């Protein structure tokens, strides 16, 4: 089989044409963006800014304030004042719901504009940005908007036998944790901001958000919309800047009550250590190396697009991407061939080209990282049945790649690549595939492709993963908790569990015989 190539023949068709973008986005990009602190847009204390690049062309498209420790200090102080201030802390739950819905309305009204900005900043397809990132973000805002009136506690039937003669009544109540620091990755910028901010605000917390330095733009637009919706000043603060400076300052800040992070397991470990200083609460959603498992009863032809989509969606820059494909022996050759053909047929192009099926990776660093893995795979003896190379263009494109003949000790099988790279391996029986699927330090997602109910309920309980999909992959919903076993993280995003992770539980015990 050929290691065929996908690149468009001319590099100019791989770059976005920014002359045609919406006037609102053109104006947004033309002005240096500032930090949102205490309801106002301010320069970084140092006056420094950094460049934001278009991944399709490597061109600078915007400049953004480079916040550092002093700015984080200011933002945390503002978030604390807002948390303790009457306007937010005394706001009735039904009013908080209204505000959250108002913000959802504003996002919805500007969804096309935000999707375009996301595509330019991140490199992803504008069509995907609109139909996945924006659609899901709006659903999450609306779902979370429903929570403030439903944060109930319980009446507790306590016996109170330790002090005889007294009579007690006890309740558990939910209270917001306080000031939340949120640090997020670049693969779904607006969506990840939403996953953190929406439940935190629904719970009554205040937030300091540190977006990824590669993709700060839609978070800053979200800040504008939050002000327009009418959130009190200081409830949402946004400090753009670098991870080791602004991010680290937020993670270790003694004025932050909870840190919530989405990113690599490596940085997740740093966050956990930094959080120990004041024992802040921690949620971390980290890396993955998720298996897709095709069982012997599956319809091979029907499965091929699904398992290809599981890895190639969003250029493979998805923490739960199905990056290890295990196929029952009888289907192995057909599915390897089918997935490789799909990979070769993917049309690469810039995010603003509505016909492009895969965009560039987010940064030159990420492209180099993926290329390092491709090199290691090829040197180690893996066979590329599709792709295997970078695309010679200024943008950060990598060919969608499929590797067969892989061994379990290879870095392409063991490590999270976060790019469009799939490894494919055959298996003989359920016991073997359960062992292979779990042979990883990660445990974020897994999918099983079968029509056999018995096999679903035999295999799913054996998989050490936070989400197990059947006949689908990467399906997320506002209601469905998402997070990892093992080194894929602590805690869950989305659903009831996300809201409760921003709440403290207080027991109220009343002696009414006193």
Max CA distance (Å), the chain: 87
Active site residue 319: yes
Q: How far is the CB of 458 from ligand ADP (least distance, A)?
A: 35
Nearer Cβ to ligand ADP (272/390): 272
Nearer Cβ to ligand ADP (366/401): 366
Active site residue 285: yes
Nearer Cβ to ligand ADP (126/212): 212
Interatomic CA distance for residues 171 and 506, integer angstroms: 8
Q: How far is the CB of 256 from ligand ADP (least distance, A)?
A: 12
Please check whether residue 181 is in contact with residue 274, taking contact to mean a CB–CB distance below 8 angstroms: no
Nearer Cβ to ligand ADP (221/233): 221
User: Which residue in 208, 49, 3, 26 sits closest to 120, CA to CA?
Assistant: 26
50: left (phi over 0), alpha (psi -120 to 50) or beta: beta
Nearer Cβ to ligand ADP (318/393): 318
Nearer Cβ to ligand ADP (244/375): 244
Q: How far is the CB of 274 from ligand ADP (least distance, A)?
A: 7
CA separation (Å) from 472 to 187, 371, 416, 449, 504? 21, 28, 21, 7, 35
Sort 276 into a burial class: Cβ within 10 Å, 0-12 / 13-18 / 19+: exposed
CA separation (Å) from 67 to 6, 121, 214, 241? 40, 19, 14, 5
User: Which residue in 250, 241, 242, 128 sits closest to 196, CA to CA?
Assistant: 250
**What are the tokens at 57?**
């062309």
List 113, 118, 285, 399, catalytic entry = 285
Residue nearest to ligand ADP (CB): 243
Q: How far is the CB of 42 from ligand ADP (least distance, A)?
A: 20
Interatomic CA distance for residues 254 and 232, integer angstroms: 23
User: Which residue in 290, 326, 315 sits closest to 473, CA to CA?
Assistant: 290
Q: How far is the CB of 310 from ligand ADP (least distance, A)?
A: 20
- Between CA 490 and CA 496, with CA 494 as vertex, the angle to 5 degrees is 95
Using CB under 6 A as the criterion, which residues of the chain lie in contact with ligand ADP when the complex forms? Answer: 183-185, 210, 212-213, 243-244, 247-248, 251, 263-264, 267, 270-271
Q: How far is the CB of 286 from ligand ADP (least distance, A)?
A: 8
The beta strands (E) that lie in 414-482 are given as: 421-427, 445-449, 467-470
List 116, 205, 319, 320, catalytic entry = 319
Residues that are catalytic:
285, 319
């Amino acid at each position: 089989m050929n290691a065929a190539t996908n690149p468009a023949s001319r590099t100019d068709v791989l770059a976005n044409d920014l002359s045609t973008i919406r006037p609102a986005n053109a104006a947004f990009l033309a002005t240096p963006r500032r930090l949102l602190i205490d309801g106002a847009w301010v320069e970084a204390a140092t006056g420094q800014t950094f460049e934001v690049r278009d991944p399709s062309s490597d061109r600078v498209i915007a400049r953004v304030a480079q916040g550092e420790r002093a700015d984080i200090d200011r933002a945390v102080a503002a978030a604390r004042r807002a948390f303790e201030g009457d306007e937010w802390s005394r706001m009735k739950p039904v009013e908080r719901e209204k505000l959250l819905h108002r913000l959802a309305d504003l996002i919805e009204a500007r969804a096309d504009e935000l999707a375009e900005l996301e595509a330019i900043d991140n490199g992803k397809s504008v069509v995907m940005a609109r139909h996945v990132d924006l659609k899901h973000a709006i659903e999450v805002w609306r779902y979370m908007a429903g929570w403030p009136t439903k944060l109930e506690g319980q009446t507790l039937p306590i016996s109170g036998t330790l002090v005889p003669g007294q009579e007690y009544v006890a309740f558990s109540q939910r209270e917001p944790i306080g000031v939340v620091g949120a640090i997020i990755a670049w693969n779904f910028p607006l969506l990840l901001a939403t996953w953190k901010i929406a439940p935190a605000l629904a719970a009554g917390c205040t937030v300091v958000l540190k977006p990824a330095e590669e993709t700060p733009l839609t978070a800053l637009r979200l800040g504008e919309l939050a002000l327009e919706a009418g959130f009190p000043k200081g409830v949402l603060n946004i400090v753009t800047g670098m991870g080791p400076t602004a991010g680290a300052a937020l993670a270790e800040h003694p004025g932050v009550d909870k840190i919530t992070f989405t990113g690599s397991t490596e940085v997740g470990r740093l966050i956990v250590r930094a959080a120990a200083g004041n024992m802040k609460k921690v949620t971390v959603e980290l890396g993955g190396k998720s298996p897709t498992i095709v069982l012997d009863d599956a319809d091979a032809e029907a499965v091929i697009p699904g398992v290809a989509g599981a890895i190639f969606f969003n250029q493979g820059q998805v923490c739960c991407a199905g990056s290890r494909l295990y196929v029952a022996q009888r289907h192995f050759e057909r599915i390897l061939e089918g997935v490789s053909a799909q990979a070769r047929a993917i049309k690469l192009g810039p995010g603003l080209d509505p016909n492009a099926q895969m965009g560039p990776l987010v940064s030159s660093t990420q492209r180099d990282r993926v290329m390092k893995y491709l090199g290691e795979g090829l040197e180690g003896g893996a066979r590329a049945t599709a792709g295997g190379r970078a695309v010679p263009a200024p943008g950060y494109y990598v060919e969608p790649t499929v590797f067969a003949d892989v061994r379990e000790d290879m870095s392409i099988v063991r490590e999270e690549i976060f790019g469009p790279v799939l490894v494919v391996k055959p298996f003989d029986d359920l016991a073997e595939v359960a062992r292979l699927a779990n042979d990883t330090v990660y445990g974020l997602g897994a999918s099983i492709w079968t029509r056999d109910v018995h096999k679903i309920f035999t295999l799913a309980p054996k998989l050490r993963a936070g989400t197990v999909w059947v006949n689908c992959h990467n399906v997320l919903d506002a209601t469905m908790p998402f997070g990892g076993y093992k080194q894929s993280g602590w805690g869950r995003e989305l659903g009831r569990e996300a809201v409760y992770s921003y709440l403290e539980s207080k027991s109220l015990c009343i002696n009414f015989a006193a």
